[in-house]
Structure 1
Amino acid sequence: MQPAYRVLGPGRARRADGTEGPVRGARLAALFAALAAAGGRPVGAAALAARVWADDTTVPDDPGAALQALVARLRRTLGAGAVASVPGGYRLAAAAEDIDLFRFEGLAAEGAAALAAGEPERAAALLDEGLGLWAGSALADLPDRATDPLVVRVERRHAEARRDRLAADVALGRSAAVLAPLTALVGAHPLDEPLQVLRIRALRDAGRSAEALAAYEEVRRTLADRLGADPGPELRALHRRLLSGDGPEAPGRPAPALPARLTSFIGRDEELAALKAELTSSRLVTLLGPGGVGKTRLALEAAEAYEGDGTVHLAELASVREESEVPGAVLTALGARETMLRGSDGLLGGDPLSRLVEHCAGRRMLLLLDNCEHVVGAAA
């Protein structure tokens, strides 16, 4: 069943009578997008007003009253029960899975996990479903979308999902067919090393080794010119295989599903070595320090160099508002959200924490919980 609310493009909604249509009017569409971006969580009236009128120097004299009138209009558009009043604000009466943005994130995580597990056909199906939800820019109707962290996050995941979908085709032996879209995607994201690795592998697997070597040299120059950095270990290893004339590498432990870093990492060798040593002897390692000192980057670098016998997953918890949402967010990061939603018996429901324990019990992995200080009890 398709999501009831769509914000991956111009706002659209399924109304109480079952029909679907656009949310018309700039202010009304902005209010709808701001509520949908919260994933069904409450949003304060002042915060909503600031978002709806973010691009307007003529903010209403009484923003609260103007917002109240706008909410009444949105209820007439969506249905009387679609927008609930809560103390100090409003919320969209929907679960996150009813909103295409959050449905996409879950499908993209599941697809990435299936790809890492060596299931390219399943990954392709999940990613096709997720990418099919896009009809334009994320939260296109928000006046302040350019500075919205959620927009940045979901558009980055969109690019990653497109890369994973092409990787599934490469794994299924369709390298020649994906070279054109891969080249276009590389043009838009030239500093994405995993994407560059995929393109060079596709060239090699399509029997175009000379072009693969030329592509590596182009990537090397781009990284040197724009970042002052050398290619990462995965690119260098692929280059060595190209020079030796080796064919496709045998399946092994998948590369960590970590975001690409666009700058080099220097000057913290002691901290990185200490953290890597801790990971070999402790099941739980916590990084402490004031904001902005580089805890996240240090953790990512340590995870990239992780030499354990399990996969690596990153759960970003900055957007999680309630401690009760932490298990579900971690399940999504592990690509197991669908298991939590449907349950082993095929029925909707199930306690997220129990599902998380069930999912992790038979696996070995390194799990990074980032930006979790505001939900530290549930993270623990």
Structure 2
Amino acid sequence: MTGVDFGVLGPIEVLREGRPVRLAGARQRTVLATLLLAGGRVVPVTRMVRLLWGESPPPTARTQVRKQVAGLRAVLGADRVRSGPDGYAVRLEPGELDLDRFHEQVRRARAARDAGRGVEAAATLRAATALWRGPALAGGTPELVDTEAPHLEELHLAAVTERIAADLDLGRHGQVIGELTRLVQRYPLRERLRAQLMLALHRSGRTADGLAVYREGRAALSAQLGIEPGNELRELHRGMLTGDVPLAPTPDRPAEPPPCGRPAELPAPEPDLVGRTAESDAVRASLTTGRVTVVHGRGGTGKTALAVRVAHALSGDFPDGQLFVDVGERDPADVLGRLLRALGCAPTALPATLEERAARYRSLLDGRRVLVVLDDAHAEAQVAPLLPGSAACAVLVTSRGRLGVLSGAARHRLGPLPAPDAVELLARVAGPGRVVAEPAAAATLVARCGHLPLAVRIAGVRLAARPGWTVARLVRRLDDPDRRLDELVAAHLDVRAVLARDHAALDGPLRHALRVAALLPDGPFAPAQLACALGVRVDRAEDLAAALTEAGLLDQVGAAPAFRLDALVRADARRRAGRRVAACVTRDGRPGGDDTAPARPGLTRRWCPSSAS
């Protein structure tokens, strides 16, 4: 996947990683659209000139075309537009152009219809027509629109007509009357649309209204073209008068399962998401080569924002829909109920048990290309029942933990931002002028925030709300580690609350180990230091440190095993450590016992930090 999407089914546009690429005016958009519509074939310069200026091009027309092509190469990459014999061609990867995706979905829908899968055919045609974002080729020159748009709009109308026919075959006559009424008003001479509206009205018990639609159509054809309605319209009219047209479709095959909706549940992308290009590319690659991808890391690193951005960028690869659900600590049966309703199941038709719901979910997704985003999953047992059985689907999971038992999943850890990206995020939220005026203070501020995206965002919000503050003033307020978390709060954004959820996700020994590690001297520490402080064996301390690293609460540094806490995690864990109690050591000073064992007679004691209630 390249991360680039081209659009001509609406305003001419280019998206890179879901973000618009700026195109320089109608002429550049017209040159791009002309190359895209050629599907990789060389477009002669003479054709571009005609679509740019019509029959009266300026003497400099060829030079201006070359300039527009040079501009496209600058924004798309030099390898994207190649020169050919007296013309140019664009290089497209499969699925990058919305028109190509439209043709592929129409092909799939017709294959499904021919195989007797009417529900699938209707849903796929609905997905195809949903690719239209407005009038085709909007933003191009009038010559381009007049020449090329009518053909594209004809393709759109044909697909809409096919989809309505599929809906009528499924007995959905009541659902299409409003849409057909608008279409007939817009295209009064289209006899097939008029026939569909007559049939839908007749099947809805409104035969008189259907006959009136016929009379209006006959009058329009006579007045504008001087002809009578065609055979299809006349036969339908006769059948409605005689009662030969049934009030319901007559199935020629067993009834199909209830219709499966096409969900589009992705939240809006985070507008201030900064950096993460390498991570986004890695996650995209995983989703295109495997079924399950896990993005894991501590709270506040932006896992959800990255997952949503990637999901939007890949939405064209999953034309049957995108599901999004906040898993949290919910029971998987409840989550499945939520997903089944999104796929069109009536609440009263939901199966009772987890096993039955999982089976229905897999059945509804069988053969469909759907992206499922499971946000903030806590355990493998939650995720396993939510995995589709179809290899055409993909699943993107965000979690604080690695979900290491989840078989066959690709895993990507998300950590704090690199310092330059953290400063850029601060500038976007607080305003670039604040950062430009105090670059050193801005760098210190994001360091005080541990380069954690959530904390940096909160700092930016606080600065934006206080235009009289300097960046240095907020740095001074964050200097005291004991007050730092109190400062990193803005409305519903709260670093302390996120750290509390991270802490709550740990079991007892891991919570205790984190609190003890926070009370060690600042800087990297070896497992032996943690073992001594805990009063446990070194291999036990290594296991605890490794588990905390997987949870994103410790960072491993250096080639030899050594670990470090960032400032925010340390501040929170120290607050939680609270009081100090004795940990057991043996007579010869070697660690012994576990971190929660009571004192035993005959053992010496050392004062070490322990957990608070």
TM class by smaller structure: 0.5 to 0.7
- Distance in 2, Cα, partners of 1:46 & 1:249: 53
- Distance in 2, Cα, partners of 1:19 & 1:241: 53
Q: Is it true that 1:169 corresponds to 2:167 in the alignment?
A: yes
Q: Deviations over 1:58-82 (max 9, x none)?
A: 72x4333322222111111112211
Q: Is the 8 A contact 1:111 1:126 kept in 2?
A: yes
- Distance in 2, Cα, partners of 1:3 & 1:239: 50
Number of aligned residue pairs: give it.
251
Q: CA deviation at 1:181?
A: 0.9
- Distance in 2, Cα, partners of 1:199 & 1:180: 9
SS in 2 for 1:13: strand
Aligned positions of 1:106-255 closer than 5 A: 106-112=104-110, 114-115=112-113, 118-140=116-138, 141-148=140-147, 150-246=148-244, 247=246, 248=248, 250=250
Q: CA deviation at 1:202?
A: 0.3
Q: Is the 8 A contact 2:137 2:145 kept in 1?
A: no
Aligned positions of 1:1-380 closer than 5 A: 4-15=5-16, 19-54=19-54, 59=58, 61-94=59-92, 97-112=95-110, 114-115=112-113, 118-140=116-138, 141-148=140-147, 150-246=148-244, 247=246, 248=248, 250=250
Q: Is the 8 A contact 1:4 1:98 kept in 2?
A: yes
SS in 1 for 2:21: strand
Q: Is the 8 A contact 2:168 2:249 kept in 1?
A: no
Q: CA deviation at 1:240?
A: 2.0
Q: CA deviation at 1:18?
A: 7.1
- Distance in 2, Cα, partners of 1:209 & 1:128: 27
Identical pairs, percent: 37
Q: CA deviation at 1:95?
A: 5.3
TM-score normalised per structure 2: 0.38
Counterpart code for 2:75: T
Q: 1:211 to 1:21 in 2, by over 3 A?
A: same
Q: Is the 8 A contact 1:34 1:142 kept in 2?
A: no
- Distance in 1, Cα, partners of 2:188 & 2:114: 23
- Distance in 1, Cα, partners of 2:112 & 2:131: 19
Q: Deviations over 1:40-89 (max 9, x none)?
A: 1101123223323339x672x43333222221111111122111112211
TM-score normalised per structure 1: 0.59
- Distance in 2, Cα, partners of 1:164 & 1:63: 42
The answer for the alignment partner of 2:462 in structure 1 is: none
- Distance in 1, Cα, partners of 2:224 & 2:50: 37
Q: CA deviation at 1:178?
A: 1.4
Q: CA deviation at 1:222?
A: 2.0
The ranges of structure 1 where at least 4 consecutive aligned residues each deviate by more than 6 angstroms after the TM superposition are none
Q: Deviations over 1:9-56 (max 9, x none)?
A: 2221144x775435342221121111112121101123223323339x
The answer for the alignment partner of 1:339 in structure 2 is: none
- Distance in 2, Cα, partners of 1:113 & 1:208: 33
Q: 1:232 to 1:72 in 2, by over 3 A?
A: same
Counterpart code for 1:144: E
Q: Is the 8 A contact 1:193 1:235 kept in 2?
A: yes
Counterpart code for 1:34: T
Q: Deviations over 1:246-270 (max 9, x none)?
A: 3146468xxxxxxxxxxxxxxxxxx
Counterpart code for 1:23: L
SS in 1 for 2:142: coil
- Distance in 1, Cα, partners of 2:116 & 2:232: 18
Instruction: Flag the structure with larger Rg.
Output: 2
Q: CA deviation at 1:186?
A: 0.5
Q: 1:164 to 1:58 in 2, by over 3 A?
A: closer
Counterpart code for 1:46: T
Q: CA deviation at 1:216?
A: 1.8
Q: Is the 8 A contact 2:165 2:196 kept in 1?
A: yes
Q: 1:223 to 1:177 in 2, by over 3 A?
A: same
Q: Is the 8 A contact 1:105 1:157 kept in 2?
A: no
SS in 2 for 1:98: coil
The answer for the alignment partner of 1:280 in structure 2 is: none
Higher relative contact order (CA 8 A, sep 6+): 1
Counterpart code for 1:220: R
- Distance in 2, Cα, partners of 1:126 & 1:3: 23
- Distance in 1, Cα, partners of 2:22 & 2:105: 24
Which segments of 5 or more consecutive residues in structure 2 lack a partner in the other structure? Answer: 253-390, 393-613
Q: Deviations over 1:166-217 (max 9, x none)?
A: 2222222221121111100011111111111111110011111121122222
- Distance in 1, Cα, partners of 2:251 & 2:224: 32
Q: 1:22 to 1:133 in 2, by over 3 A?
A: farther
Q: Deviations over 1:324-369 (max 9, x none)?
A: xxxxxxxxxxxxxxxxxxxxxx99xxxxxxxxxxxxxxxxxxxxxx
Counterpart code for 1:92: V
The answer for the alignment partner of 2:448 in structure 1 is: none
Counterpart code for 2:183: L
Counterpart code for 2:9: L
SS in 2 for 1:136: coil
Q: 1:43 to 1:95 in 2, by over 3 A?
A: farther
- Distance in 2, Cα, partners of 1:183 & 1:174: 15
- Distance in 1, Cα, partners of 2:183 & 2:192: 12
Q: Is the 8 A contact 1:112 1:161 kept in 2?
A: no
Q: CA deviation at 1:4?
A: 2.1
Q: 1:4 to 1:50 in 2, by over 3 A?
A: same
Counterpart code for 1:6: G
SS in 2 for 1:8: coil
SS in 2 for 1:90: strand
Q: CA deviation at 1:105?
A: 3.3
Q: Deviations over 1:266-315 (max 9, x none)?
A: xxxxxxxxxxxxxxxxxxxxxxxxxxxxxxxxxxxxxxxxxxxxxxxxxx
Q: Is the 8 A contact 1:39 1:96 kept in 2?
A: no
Which segments of 5 or more consecutive residues in structure 1 lack a partner in the other structure? Answer: 253-345, 348-380
- Distance in 1, Cα, partners of 2:162 & 2:54: 35
- Distance in 2, Cα, partners of 1:27 & 1:146: 12
- Distance in 1, Cα, partners of 2:130 & 2:203: 28
